[in-house]
Structure 1
Amino acid sequence: MIETLGVLKRVLDLAVRDAAIAVNPCSLRSARLPKRPVTDRPVLSPGEVQALARAMPHGSDRVLVKVLAHVGLRIGEALALRWTDVDLDRKTLTVRQSVEDTSGKVIVGPTKTYATRTVTLPNALVADLGDGLERSSFLVFPNRLGGYRRYRNWRRDHWDKACEASGVKALPHDLRATCALLLIDSGASPKDVQQHLGHEDVNTTLRLYARVRPGRSVDLATRLDALIVEAG
């Protein structure tokens, strides 16, 4: 790296000598590389989540969208979910594994943080899991043969088409941020959200997922108005 910088400095010294540039940036001790631009990913409203789910071609895909948005699972965790991980009587879902196929081969392993977490499900999702899905496989969201789905295939054949049909522009991972914001709107603390989503560090929760939902500013102003009126 130092040798590369030295070569670049000598090249740019020639450019300064030829008046092509005013200053050699390699000579500036305080110079910093430009920061990578931060992409502002979307956060879906509850209505957009419902529209996206309705646009899915199959009942299992519709439930999968709701699990991603209302439970906040990573897509690999959702695709690795087994029926033995779901307790509808207790209304809980336990995340133990994750699946990935980035190498061209389906690999089932631990979660990103190597931790197991149990999440309490909302009643509506308990009903969807209990009545809306067949139990023809040990997996909650299997492929046609009962095995693990490949994310890229599901994204291409189902997710992308549903986004186009519903007009919702988002990636599956955006539903984790959506879940975080829904939890915050419901009164959850950052620590609650951290445990719900399975982050190792609460700063990850605050930095990446505590975004502001469009229209949230209006909601807050309305609440402030109510407090001001109450105070007289």
Structure 2
Amino acid sequence: MLDVAVREDVLTANPAKSVTPVPATSLDEVRALDVPEVINLRAALAMDKKATAIDLHDLVDVMLATGCRPGEALALRWSEVDLAKHIVYLTGTVVREKGAGLFRQDTTKGKKPRGHLVPEFAMSMLERRNTEVSQGEFDLVFPSERGGLREATTVDRQWRTFRERHPEWTWITPKTFRKSVGTAVERGADIEAAAAQLGHSHPAITAKHYVVKPALGPDHREILEKFGGR
């Protein structure tokens, strides 16, 4: 459009041509939080009174402890939390559909319910919430202010507001937590374990979209040393 304006003598020059292009980020690049970043982020959430008032810190802990999607965390019911055995069962998700409104879908995105043994940091949070949260009609671990279903888009908006108060975390979205879990499990175990954690049917999906590619290549020095004639 600016070129057209120049041709029509509205402008003497196209100012866009002097702008430095923004480097494009590869769509295949996966970015996740490492352990120190997770620790710092959890501390920031816990110290943010506005975030704790809307349970954002607790919701993030469930996603970090399981690798679940936001909608799956919001669909979690107390009947699916085994406090004695430290297990959380993911059996559904919260969705909104035209004509049906907001409802709990009794299947996850992967169509298969899955149980997760939960680490202690999240288990302590669930035990605390079990005494604090009223187990209303829907039996939800993370109900809305009115005790009903909470929408994933609401959490997205609340997360963006948190990032505005903490600019150092502007690159993080709720999906980043799932990628962080996938990357951590792959690093600590293997890609098959990461796929199982995230509920993927094929490890290739996990490897491509949910695991950070290592910056350091494999150690093949012994093999390549032969090129040196030794």
The TM-score normalised by the length of structure 2 is 0.70
Give the corresponding residue for 2:175.
173
Change (3 A) 1:41 1:103: farther
Q: Secondary structure at the match of 2:67?
A: coil
> For the residues of structure 2 that align with 1:61 and 1:171, how far apart are their CA atoms?
13
| Structure 1: gaps (5+ residues) | 1-35, 225-232
Structure 2 CA distance for partners of 1:37 and 1:193, relative to 1, 3 Å: closer
**Residue in structure 1 matched with residue 34 of structure 2 by the alignment:** 45
Q: CA deviation at 1:70?
A: 2.5
Measure, in 1, the Cα distance between the counterparts of 2:129 and 2:140.
14
Percentage identity across paired residues of the two chains: 26
Query: C-alpha distance in 1, partners of 2:95/2:34?
Result: 28
SS of equivalent to 1:131: helix
Question: Aligned equivalents of 2:52 and 2:133: distance in 1?
Answer: 18
1:57 counterpart SS class:
helix
One-letter code aligned to 1:143: S
Mapped contact 1:49–1:66 kept (Cα < 8 A): no
Question: C-alpha displacement at 1:37, in angstroms?
Answer: 5.4
User: Secondary structure of 2:181's partner?
Assistant: helix
Partner of 2:71: 76
Instruction: Give the CA deviation at 1:131.
Output: 1.5
Following the alignment from structure 1 to structure 2, what is the Cα–Cα distance between the partners of residues 208 and 173? 11
Correspondence list, 1:131-210, <5 A: 131-132=128-129, 134-137=132-135, 138-156=139-157, 158-166=158-166, 167-168=168-169, 169-185=171-187, 187-210=188-211
Matched AA of 1:121:
V
What is residue 97 of structure 1 aligned with on the other side? 92
User: Could you say which residue in structure 1 is the equivalent of 2:121?
Assistant: 124
The root-mean-square deviation of aligned C-alpha atoms, in Å, is 2.7
Rounded Cα–Cα distance in structure 2 between residues aligned with 1:62 and 1:151: 15
Q: Point out where structure 2 has 5 or more consecutive residues left out of the alignment.
A: 1-24, 222-230
**CA positional deviation for 1:121:** 0.4
> Partners of 1:130 and 1:201 in 2: how far apart?
34
Q: Helix, strand or coil: the match of 1:173?
A: helix
Deviations 1:1-59 (A, max 9, x none): xxxxxxxxxxxxxxxxxxxxxxxxxxxxxxxxxxx951635311234334253342337
Aligned counterparts of 1:87 and 1:135: Cα–Cα separation in 2:
16
Q: Could you give the per-residue CA deviations for residues 138-158 of structure 1, whole angstroms, max 9, x where no partner exists?
A: 1011100111101222221x2
**CA deviation vs aligned residue, 1:75-100 (integer Å, no higher than 9, x gap):** 11011000111111101101101111
Distance 2:97 2:118 in 1: 30
| Structure 1 position 132, deviation (Å) | 4.3
Q: CA distance change for structure 1 residues 171 and 182 in 2, over 3 Å: closer, same or farther?
A: same
Question: How far apart in 2 are the matches of 1:70 and 1:103?
Answer: 32
State the TM-score, normalized to the length of structure 1.
0.70
C-alpha separation between the residues in 2 aligned to 1:94 and 1:198? Answer: 12
- Which has the higher mean CA deviation after the structures are superposed, 129-138 or 82-91? 129-138
